[in-house]
């Protein structure tokens, strides 16, 4: 009897502890994220449904994936091990973030993400007891490489008689996640597919008057659209129409009849299900189509948009891409610091150049959108010929500043070769060049102003762009009209020549940046051609500078100038030939596409080939690996690589790590890698393999294959 009383007493003492709240295990560190199960309540009652969630705390620079990972990747998964009668629902997915990766676009998450699920207790759950819930979560975590990671998770919940109310540390975070999740709403959606493309129309009272500049469609099915293609938006009185690029699902004999996904409008996400059929007229017709903008101009109105544009223009002066040009303008003003009339004229000429260029770009942008083109701010730098020409111009300016040759007598001449016609012309074209180079930059306040402007009428858009130009030019105009500031600057002297040479280096940096931009647009062959053009231009600049020192040898100087002119024209022509005019789609920037014959990787096959003295190229890859897929399109599936494999007799082995493979994992670890991609080249001599870079080019692969074949 005493034993029974003691047992009851111990149970009574333990009951408050049991009911105190859910017992959570420590978060599991999988390597590049921490994962845990959390609950919105601290207990659960028999038959009650509560919200639990999988929480991920992802390392900086890494990301996981949405339910549709996009062009590559793999969605997060969870598998429950529950007692009899307990039930868990599916993830309530949070709105995804687009994740560009070279020619691909994926959808996923970074930082912290909470994925709620429902948990239902059986009606016969016993109050006073606790239940331990177990789950196995699987993640694909990516940075430059992608690593599958797993976590075994636990959550212990006490069972109480009365329904539990939300409470505890995670109640509010889970509630916010549920609130942020895409909601089903009273919206009608339809889509049409024909030779012109794919159009998705969505209508409903919720969309009337909504800001649609940043609208975007995330499909649930990864096969229906080209994720990397721009999505063009057309506004209507009761909705919108999105122009999409169809993917391979529409190429079969039975194209989709339903297209479901998440529609982002402003900062709101709606879950929609579109049926194949005619598009409603209410979804279009209120203005020209517009590409998805990077900013959100919700509710600005013209006055506030003008204020934001002026502030954005002011801050734009501090952006790195603008610094080289504006540094030169500052130097030119310093050269005229003690000539107030000349300084003011140059300030006004610079202002006119800036305003004229901003308005010209705005006009071209409005006309292009009216014609249905998916373009936005900085659209001119989407043209490879423009980027290549600007790169050569920056190089020429840098060589001029370094003293290789001279144009004009004042530093404001860097704006254009036209500067030699006079100081005002130089100031005007410096303003022109500054705006052209500033185009890829977006400063604070600019994004909402431009996002609003590009959804309005042409006059309103031009006013906003003019305000942006005023803000951009304001600091230099103010200095030009401030005698007190100018008088504090030292008088022109030898220091100006030293400053000039120092300022050449930002211009070299600008040329290098534009060179990098071009490689992303047209690939390695474009890089080679522009580098060759740059060498020719540098030779032309040197010859021209040499001719300027031959005042006593007129015929020789003229010959040098003629040769310089021919070389300069050849360099410019090299970047304007047709190969730059129509850049290939992403992943097909250079060379012809080729199918590479390969064998599946196995340790036995590799050993057999090495024993035979054959060169071997091993590619450890996975379908969900972003870098792998980019390398596949840009570097490996090229005609040059196919020819090199054939000519060198190299055997291509591919180790597919899309699914777990302990053999491949061990081989990765042996070479000091935790994930894919990994590229190994074995030579004929039987030496240790050469590990290729994670970011490949066609040339890198070809050279490695040739070296492996010639070894031994």
Once rounded to an integer, what is the mean pLDDT over residues 216-244? Answer: 89
Q: Using the predicted structure, report yes or no on whether residue 453 has a pLDDT greater than 60.
A: yes
Q: Could you read off the pLDDT of 244-282 as tens digits, one per residue? A: 999 888 877 888 999 999 999 988 999 999 999 999 888
Query: ∠698-702-705 over CA atoms, to 5°?
Result: 145
CA 359 → CA 70, 317, 353, distances in Å? 37, 18, 10
> How high is the pLDDT of residue 129?
94
Per the model's pLDDT, the better-predicted residue between 409 and 258 turns out to be: 258
Q: Using the predicted structure, report yes or no on whether residue 378 has a pLDDT greater than 60.
A: no
> How high is the pLDDT of residue 626?
63
Question: What are residue 56's phi and psi, to 5 degrees?
Answer: -120, 130
pLDDT tier for residue 62 given thresholds of 50, 70 and 90: very high
Q: Using the predicted structure, report yes or no on whether residue 523 has a pLDDT greater than 50.
A: yes
* Residues ≥6 apart with Cβ < 8 Å to 507: 324, 328, 394, 395, 397, 398, 401, 414
Q: Using the predicted structure, report yes or no on whether residue 161 has a pLDDT greater than 90.
A: yes
Once rounded to an integer, what is the mean pLDDT over residues 181-194? Answer: 93
Q: Using the predicted structure, report yes or no on whether residue 705 has a pLDDT greater than 70.
A: yes
Q: Which range (70-84, 512-526, 681-695) has the least confidence?
A: 512-526
Question: What are the structure tokens assigned to 428, written together?
Answer: 């005007």
Q: Report the share of the chain in percent with pLDDT over 90.
A: 34
Q: Using the predicted structure, report yes or no on whether residue 84 has a pLDDT greater than 50.
A: yes
Q: What distance in Å separates the CA atoms of residue 374 and residue 244, rounded to the nearest whole number?
A: 11
Which of 381, 340, 344 has the alpha carbon at shortest distance from 364? 381
> How high is the pLDDT of residue 114?
98
Q: Could you read off the pLDDT of 102-157 as tens digits, one per residue? A: 678 899 999 999 999 999 999 999 999 999 999 999 999 998 888 999 999 999 99
3-state helix, strand, coil split of the chain in percent (to 5) is 45, 25, 35
Q: What distance in Å separates the CA atoms of residue 598 and residue 706, rounded to the nearest whole number?
A: 18
Please list the alpha-helical segments (H only) found in 219-339: 301-316, 323-335
Please list the alpha-helical segments (H only) found in 549-651: 554-574, 578-581, 603-611, 626-631, 639-648
Question: What are residue 59's phi and psi, to 5 degrees?
Answer: -60, 150
Q: Using the predicted structure, report yes or no on whether residue 233 has a pLDDT greater than 80.
A: yes
Q: Using the predicted structure, report yes or no on whether residue 79 has a pLDDT greater than 80.
A: yes
Average pLDDT of the residues of the chain: 78
pLDDT tier for residue 564 given thresholds of 50, 70 and 90: low
> How high is the pLDDT of residue 712?
66
Once rounded to an integer, what is the mean pLDDT over residues 539-552? Answer: 73
Q: Using the predicted structure, report yes or no on whether residue 413 has a pLDDT greater than 50.
A: no
Per the model's pLDDT, the better-predicted residue between 325 and 697 turns out to be: 697
C-alpha gyration radius of the chain: 32
Q: What distance in Å separates the CA atoms of residue 524 and residue 634, rounded to the nearest whole number?
A: 9
Question: What are the structure tokens assigned to 598, written together?
Answer: 């390969």
Q: Could you read off the pLDDT of 577-636 as tens digits, one per residue? A: 544 443 443 333 344 566 788 999 999 999 999 999 999 999 998 766 767 777 888 889
Q: Using the predicted structure, report yes or no on whether residue 550 has a pLDDT greater than 80.
A: no
Q: Using the predicted structure, report yes or no on whether residue 507 has a pLDDT greater than 50.
A: yes
Are 292 and 419 spatial neighbours (Cβ–Cβ below 8 Å)? Answer: no
Q: Which residue has the tokens 């020429």?
A: 396
pTM: 0.53
> Among 213-217, 501-505, 613-617, which range has the highest average pLDDT?
613-617
Q: Is 80 helix (H, G, I), strand (E, B) or coil?
A: strand
Q: Which range (608-617, 641-650, 668-677) has the least confidence?
A: 668-677
Q: What distance in Å separates the CA atoms of residue 413 and residue 494, rounded to the nearest whole number?
A: 18
DSSP state, residue 590: S
Q: Using the predicted structure, report yes or no on whether residue 9 has a pLDDT greater than 50.
A: no
Per the model's pLDDT, the better-predicted residue between 530 and 12 turns out to be: 530
C-alpha neighbours within 13 Å on the C-beta side of residue 388: 31
pLDDT tier for residue 173 given thresholds of 50, 70 and 90: very high
CA 445 → CA 183, 452, 456, 573, distances in Å? 30, 11, 18, 39
Q: How many other CB atoms are there within 10 angstroms of residue 193's CB atom?
A: 18
> How high is the pLDDT of residue 5?
40
Once rounded to an integer, what is the mean pLDDT over residues 309-320? Answer: 75
Q: Is 649 helix (H, G, I), strand (E, B) or coil?
A: coil
Once rounded to an integer, what is the mean pLDDT over residues 501-507? Answer: 76
pLDDT tier for residue 670 given thresholds of 50, 70 and 90: confident
Helix/strand/coil (H, E, C) string of 97-127?
A: EEEEECCEEEEEECCEEEEEEEEECCCCCCC
Q: How many other CB atoms are there within 10 angstroms of residue 69's CB atom?
A: 24
Q: Which range (374-383, 468-477, 625-634) has the least confidence?
A: 374-383
DSSP state, residue 205: G
Which of 291, 298, 287 has the alpha carbon at shortest distance from 379? 291
Q: What distance in Å separates the CA atoms of residue 112 and residue 59, rounded to the nearest whole number?
A: 9
Per the model's pLDDT, the better-predicted residue between 165 and 431 turns out to be: 165
> How high is the pLDDT of residue 42?
95
> How high is the pLDDT of residue 403?
80
Which of 104, 101, 109, 110 has the alpha carbon at shortest distance from 71? 104
pLDDT tier for residue 170 given thresholds of 50, 70 and 90: very high
Are 127 and 45 spatial neighbours (Cβ–Cβ below 8 Å)? Answer: yes
Q: Report the share of the chain in percent with pLDDT over 70.
A: 72
Per DSSP bridges, beta strands 268-276 and 23-24 are unpaired
Per DSSP bridges, beta strands 188-194 and 197-203 are antiparallel
Which of 227, 217, 287, 580 has the alpha carbon at shortest distance from 457? 287
Which of 100, 92, 96, 123 has the alpha carbon at shortest distance from 110? 96
Q: Which range (57-61, 103-107, 136-140, 177-181) has the least confidence?
A: 103-107
């Amino acid at each position: 009897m005493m034993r029974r009383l003691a047992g009851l007493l111990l149970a009574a003492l333990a009951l408050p502890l049991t009911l105190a709240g859910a017992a959570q295990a420590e978060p599991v560190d999988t390597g590049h994220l921490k994962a845990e199960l959390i609950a919105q309540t601290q207990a659960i009652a028999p038959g009650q449904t509560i919200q639990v969630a999988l929480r991920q705390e992802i390392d900086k620079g890494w990301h996981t994936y949405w339910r549709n990972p996009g062009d590559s990747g793999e969605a997060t998964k969870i598998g429950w091990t529950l007692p009899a009668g307990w039930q868990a629902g599916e993830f309530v997915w949070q709105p995804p973030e687009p994740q560009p990766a070279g020619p691909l676009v994926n959808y996923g998450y970074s930082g912290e993400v909470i994925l709620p699920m429902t948990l239902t207790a059986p009606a016969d759950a016993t109050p006073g007891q606790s239940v331990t819930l177990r789950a196995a979560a699987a993640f694909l975590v990516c940075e430059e490489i992608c690593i599958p990671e797993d976590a075994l998770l636990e959550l212990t919940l006490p069972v109480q008689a009365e329904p539990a109310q939300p409470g505890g540390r995670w109640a509010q975070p889970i509630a916010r996640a549920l609130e942020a999740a895409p909601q089903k709403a009273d919206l009608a959606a339809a889509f049409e597919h024909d030779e012109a493309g794919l159009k998705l129309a969505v209508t409903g009272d919720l969309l009337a008057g909504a800001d649609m500049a940043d609208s975007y469609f995330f499909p649930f099915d990864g096969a229906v659209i080209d994720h990397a293609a721009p999505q063009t938006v057309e506004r209507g009185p009761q909705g919108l129409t999105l122009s999409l690029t169809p993917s391979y699902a529409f190429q079969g004999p039975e194209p989709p009849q339903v297209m479901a996904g998440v529609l982002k409008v402003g900062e709101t996400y709606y879950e929609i299900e579109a049926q194949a059929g005619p598009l409603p007229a209410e979804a279009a017709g209120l203005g020209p189509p517009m590409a998805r903008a990077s900013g959100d101009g919700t509710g600005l109105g013209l006055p506030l948009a003008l204020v934001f544009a002026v502030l954005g223009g002011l801050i734009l002066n501090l952006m790195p891409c603008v610094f080289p040009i504006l540094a030169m303008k500052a130097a030119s003003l310093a050269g005229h610091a003690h000539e107030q009339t000349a300084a003011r004229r140059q300030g006004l000429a610079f202002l006119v150049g800036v305003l004229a260029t901003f308005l010209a770009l705005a006009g071209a942008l409005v006309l292009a959108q009216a014609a249905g083109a998916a373009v936005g701010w900085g659209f001119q730098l989407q043209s490879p010929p423009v980027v290549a020409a600007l790169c050569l111009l920056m190089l020429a300016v840098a060589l001029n500043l370094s003293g290789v040759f001279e144009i004009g007598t004042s530093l404001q001449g860097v704006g254009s070769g036209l500067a030699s016609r006079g100081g005002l012309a130089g100031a005007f074209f410096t303003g022109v060049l500054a705006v052209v180079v500033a185009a890829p930059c977006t400063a604070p306040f600019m994004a909402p102003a431009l996002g609003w402007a590009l959804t309005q009428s042409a006059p309103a858009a031009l006013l906003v762009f003019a305000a942006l130009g005023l803000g951009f030019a304001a600091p230099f105009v103010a200095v030009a009209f401030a005698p007190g500031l100018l008088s504090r600057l030292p008088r022109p002297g030898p220091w100006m020549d030293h400053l000039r040479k120092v300022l050449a280096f930002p211009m070299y940096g600008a040329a290098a940046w534009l060179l990098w931009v071009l490689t992303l647009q047209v690939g390695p062959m474009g890089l080679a051609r522009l580098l060759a053009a740059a060498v020719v231009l540098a030779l032309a600049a040197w010859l021209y500078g040499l001719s300027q020192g031959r005042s006593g040898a007129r015929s020789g100087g003229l010959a040098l100038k003629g040769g310089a002119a021919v070389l300069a024209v050849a360099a410019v022509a090299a970047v304007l030939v047709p190969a730059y005019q129509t850049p290939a789609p992403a992943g097909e920037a250079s060379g012809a596409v080729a199918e590479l014959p390969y064998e599946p990787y196995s340790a036995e096959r590799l050993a057999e080939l090495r024993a035979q003295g054959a060169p071997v190229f091993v590619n450890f890859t996975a379908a969900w690996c972003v870098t792998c897929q980019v390398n596949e399109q840009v570097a490996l599936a090229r005609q040059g690589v196919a020819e090199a494999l054939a000519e060198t007799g190299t055997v291509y082995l591919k180790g597919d790590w899309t699914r777990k493979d302990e053999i491949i994992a061990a081989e990765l670890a042996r070479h000091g890698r935790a994930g894919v991609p990994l590229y190994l080249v074995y030579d004929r001599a039987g030496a240790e393999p050469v590990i290729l870079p994670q970011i490949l080019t066609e040339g890198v692969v070809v050279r490695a294959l040739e070296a492996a074949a010639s070894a031994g």
